[in-house]
Amino acid sequence: MTRSLKSFSRIVVKIGSALLVERGELKRAWLDALISDLAGLAKSGADVLIVSSGSIALGRGILGLPKGPLKLEESQAAAAAGQIALAQAYADALGAHGKKAGQILLTLGDTEERRRYLNARATIGTLLKLGAVPIINENDSVATSEIRYGDNDRLAARVATMASADCLVLLSDIDGLYTAPPAQNPDAVFLPEVPRITAEIEAMAGSAGSELSRGGMKTKIDAGKIATAAGTSMVITSGKELNPLQRLEEGARGTWFPALSSPASARKAWIGGHLEPRGRVTLDDGAVKAMTSGKSLLPAGVADVSGSFGRGDAVILTDKAGRTIGRGLIAYDADEAQLIAGRNSKEIEAIVGYPGRAEMIHRDDLVLEDAFLSGTR
């Protein structure tokens, strides 16, 4: 695959807290250098978007909060104070290159619920059309553990699919993916490219998070699954030095995850990127075979149903061995799905009392796991 950022037309860059904030203060020289890199990409014709952590870390310094874990209300207060300073810093840095900034704060629901997802997508598209650079962060001042992403790696992947970006850059405190955490294993081997995210690749992802960062390598691999399935290439590279994007262009180390050959439709990209499935549906062997050949899921192929979900919610699909096959939007509430599991579609009306859909999950509402598919070929 091509490894030049200048070959992509729309690029999302994710920045972690540890790269941007040190001891509660913004690393302005680092930020200015990064914005210089982004301005260069924009000058060559690319749309650029930024997904930035840092509001809590910066707000902690502004409000004089102590080191160590914060209470929820302290984190939210820190985010509220830090976000103002962070947005101003981006506006100033971009302004020096004649660019405008537009801030978008998202919660998990903004990308999990279809209508809000489309609204956010429209806002991003309009900012880009007007020549502004969207600066996107999780809305930490209001998000609680139940409604948050918890990491900006997966948020960045959702933003990339939402914006139809063809490249996602994860700037990290590590220069890519290794066969084992390099800090713990001196024999760990660096991987310059990962053609497909298989179960073996997922097993390599250790939990190498820093004090300020909630994301380790696992969340980066999760981000790669979301991005590549939707037609977005991804690269993990170090952001520790100044001008990290320019350094990547000049051959600095990074692990590339090429987009899959056939990008998903916008709807399937949204389904595949769901982070909060509400239930689990276990399939029999016949249904698994039907799924992999492009068929819808009929009630007759369902061996078990668990979870609390409503019609239209996302659920995980597994085989009898517990392997994840994919996910989809289910056409029945949980109690109805349990009643019709294993039954013929012709019996649905007699069981639930109305003529429901013949499919429990229609193939248009179904996305299969690439790691599962690659293992069946």
**Using alpha carbons only, what angle is made at residue 24 by residues 21 and 29, rounded to the nearest 5 degrees?**
40
Gap between the terminal Cα atoms of the chain: 22
Phi, psi of 155 (to 5 degrees): -60, -45
The pLDDT value recorded for residue 209 is 44
Written as six digits, the tokens of 333 are: 């509430």
- What is the spatial distance between Cα 282 and Cα 264, in angstroms, rounded to a whole number? 24
pLDDT digits (tens, 9 = 90+) for 158-211: 999 989 899 999 999 889 999 988 888 889 999 999 999 988 898 888 544 443
Dihedral angle, C-alpha 97, 16, 230, 370, nearest 10 °: 150
pLDDT digits (tens, 9 = 90+) for 322-364: 999 999 999 999 999 999 999 999 999 999 999 888 999 998 8
pLDDT digits (tens, 9 = 90+) for 131-161: 999 999 988 777 555 445 667 898 999 999 9
Residue 307's H or E segment, with its range, is strand 302-307
Residue 280's H or E segment, with its range, is strand 279-283
pLDDT digits (tens, 9 = 90+) for 294-309: 899 999 999 999 999 9
The pLDDT value recorded for residue 19 is 95
DSSP structure string for 81-108 = HHHHHHHHHHHHHHHTTT-EEEEEEE-H
Cβ-contact 169, 3 below 8 angstroms = no
Cβ-contact 107, 143 below 8 angstroms = yes
Nearest to 99 by CA among 56, 147, 38: 38
pLDDT digits (tens, 9 = 90+) for 45-100: 999 999 999 999 999 999 999 888 888 889 889 999 999 999 999 999 999 999 99
Mean pLDDT across 242-255: 96
Mean pLDDT across 246-259: 96
| pTM confidence score | 0.80
Cβ-contact 63, 81 below 8 angstroms = yes
Mean pLDDT across 29-40: 98
pLDDT digits (tens, 9 = 90+) for 201-245: 988 885 444 433 444 788 899 999 999 988 899 999 999 999 999
Q: What amino acid is encoded at 250 in this protein? A: E
The angle that helices 217-229 and 152-162 make with each other, rounded to 10 degrees, is 10
With H, G, I as helix, E, B as strand and everything else as coil, classify residue 177.
Answer: strand
Written as six digits, the tokens of 217 are: 């390598």
Beta carbons within 8 Å of 377's beta carbon, 6+ residues apart = none
